[in-house]
């Protein structure tokens, strides 16, 4: 899955960069480091306690393509690998050991684009990976879930500062996802050709899969992130 994602993002970026220079296509990309912890639970008993997850770090990657063509939506891909394990161990083995690729495919429309900006859209979230329990059993996860998407932001003129919030949500067919993040950004390069900024924010990601492989899966991730944003 990771290899396919890399190839898709590379092809998308390289094929559209030339058009971006003609002021027809805009390309936005960002890379950030997310330091997260959280909780996990995939027991069949609803009374089972959530297990605390170790604090880990992961790279978040996002690539968006925007254009002025009416009715055709803009497109965005977001990716992060969630690889962590529970703090609690039994006989030297973590209760849960997670390795999940989380990828969002989003189509959206800009409804505001000035000092205040806002986007609305829809798409799909793909979860692909596995969870090991006490290193004895493994639950493979491969699920694609429809989602709705929204974002809103505001720029402080003549300062390079801006604030933004994003929300991705789904409650569909025994699957529920809430993915929210808020960030502040400072553009240290801001001209007609390219904008480059440093950003810091906080992300909360909740995933619930009911009756998946005879288990109710629940994963909560949260933590701050810092990164670099480029728009040309």
Residue 208 near residue 218 (C-beta atoms within 8 A)? yes
Q: Which residue has the higher pLDDT, 101 or 214?
A: 101
On average, the pLDDT of the chain sits at: 89
Model pLDDT, residue 75:
98
Write out pLDDT tens, residues 53-108. Answer: 999 999 999 999 999 898 999 999 999 999 999 999 999 999 999 999 999 999 99
**What whole-number distance in Å separates Cα of residue 185 and Cα of residue 198?**
6
**What whole-number distance in Å separates Cα of residue 143 and Cα of residue 164?**
29
Q: Which two tokens stand for residue 75?
A: 């497109």
Model pLDDT, residue 46:
54
Residue 180 near residue 204 (C-beta atoms within 8 A)? yes
Helix (H), strand (E) at residue 17: helix 2-20
CA distances from 224 to 36, 68, 199 (A): 7, 33, 11
Residue 153 φ then ψ, to 5°? -150, 165
DSSP lists the bridge partners of residue 177 as 170, 207
**Is pLDDT at 211 greater than 90 in this prediction?**
no
**What whole-number distance in Å separates Cα of residue 148 and Cα of residue 63?**
18
Percent of the chain with pLDDT over 90: 76
Model pLDDT, residue 215:
83
Query: Of the candidates 180, 186, 223, which has an alpha carbon nearest to the alpha carbon of residue 82?
Result: 223
**Is pLDDT at 33 greater than 60 in this prediction?**
yes
Q: What's the average model confidence in pLDDT over 170-195?
A: 95
When mean pLDDT is compared across 9-13, 176-180, 192-196, the lowest value belongs to 9-13
CATH of domain 2-231: 2.40.160.20
pLDDT confidence band for 31 (50 / 70 / 90): very high
**What whole-number distance in Å separates Cα of residue 208 and Cα of residue 16?**
36
């Amino acid at each position: 899955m990771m290899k396919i994602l890399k190839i898709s993002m590379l092809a998308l970026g390289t094929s559209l960069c030339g058009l971006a220079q003609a002021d027809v296509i805009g390309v936005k990309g960002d890379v950030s480091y997310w330091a997260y912890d959280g909780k996990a639970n995939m027991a069949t008993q609803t009374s089972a306690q959530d297990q605390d997850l170790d604090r880990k770090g992961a790279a978040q990657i996002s690539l968006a393509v925007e254009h002025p063509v009416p009715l055709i939506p803009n497109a965005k891909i977001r990716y992060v690998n969630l690889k962590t394990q529970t703090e609690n161990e039994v006989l030297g083995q973590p209760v849960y050991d997670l390795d999940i690729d989380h990828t969002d495919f989003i189509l959206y429309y800009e409804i505001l684009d000035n000092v205040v900006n806002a986007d609305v859209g829809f798409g799909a979230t793909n979860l692909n990976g596995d969870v090991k329990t006490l290193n004895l059993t493994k639950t493979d996860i491969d699920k694609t879930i429809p989602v709705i998407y929204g974002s809103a932001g505001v720029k402080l003129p003549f300062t390079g500062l801006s604030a933004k919030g994003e929300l991705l949500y789904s409650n569909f067919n025994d699957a529920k996802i809430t993915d929210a993040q808020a960030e502040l950004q400072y553009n240290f390069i801001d001209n007609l050709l390219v904008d480059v900024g440093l950003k810091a924010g906080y992300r909360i990601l909740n995933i619930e899969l009911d009756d998946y492989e005879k288990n109710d899966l629940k994963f909560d991730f949260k933590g701050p992130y810092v990164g670099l944003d480029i728009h040309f």
